Structure 1
């Protein structure tokens, strides 16, 4: 996970690597990641809603996001 921060706000979120071991993983990530990214930009924190049907993806995303936010000092 990579975040871009400007003036103390998250302006961009990128997930360059996500599980792609099978077609179902790709399908879930293609649906869930854009929602999670938008939630992040709206909330400006890791306190975001999980995506229904993508619990594992959501959990991993939030964990990575919190780590990135901590590193950025947000």
Structure 2
């Protein structure tokens, strides 16, 4: 089952996470949308978002660490990830 979380507005732009769940585990997490626009934001998110994707798989929850230098992106990612997990649970993901 694949579900998308809520679109979260961060200080630097919108962020949305999609997860795939199989056998009660997150098998994939990825950002469908992430803050972008200026060079610094793009540079920060080019390393932060892949880290957050990997941490989601490792943690199997939204209890993931903030990536240094990407506080707003990390907070938005956690919010969208939690909403995706909630949606998967409501849909009966196992």
TM-score, structure 2 as length reference: 0.75
- In structure 2, list runs of 5 or more residues that go unmatched: 1-16
Q: Aligned-residue CA RMSD in angstroms?
A: 1.1
Which 4+ residue blocks in structure 1 deviate beyond 2 angstroms?
Answer: none
Bigger strand fraction: 2
Deviation at 1:12, TM superposition (A): 0.4
Bigger relative contact order, structure 1 or 2 (CA pairs below 8 A, ≥6 apart): 2
Bigger helix fraction: 1
- In structure 1, list runs of 5 or more residues that go unmatched: none
How many aligned residue pairs are there? 74
TM-score, structure 1 as length reference: 0.94
